[in-house]
Structure 1
């Protein structure tokens, strides 16, 4: 068994698609219209074809309070691995990305947390070694 698909709820799929592809550097894997302006819209890392991230519409009534609580407590919706956290932080800041936590060493891992502009906090992590 392995992870194939996970999702993050987004306020605006088009805005999220732009952020996750143009800014973060993911590639579009699937983009299928579902009606009512919604899409089955997935992205993935250029170096990994196995795992996809579904940019899921946040219309369900439970999503708003859940995400608001996570953001208020500073809890990321998901985590992405990076090879060089400080370089990635610098690149993203240069593109106007706002971070709620700058690169911070936490023992065997260094982390930073960014705002994805679509209602979520996203954690970036670099393992030591």
Structure 2
């Protein structure tokens, strides 16, 4: 393999190395519902690990069809593999805006709750 070919392979592989792979799975009465559920499952898994940015599907979603499900009879199962960015810049900016907000107007939170004074000294 030449040096230029090796560099091309490394450049193509680098985005995939930036994020781990997240696998989602779901079932649905239609293939579309199963795929959407699998995509949502993978995104939730990514967010649980701190990857809140845009996600990219790796490969094709896998769809399996069954006619013997004990509850539904005919059912689809789907699996999606994807990578996600670590953060979303707009989310970071929104958090910074909240943190930098002037907090001088904060009062006792019980004053804004109807009947909150009943909790004092109880």
TM-score tier, shorter chain, comes to under 0.3
TM-score, reference length from structure 2: 0.25
Higher helix share: 2
TM-score, reference length from structure 1: 0.24
Higher strand share: 1
Q: Highest Rg: 1 or 2?
A: 2
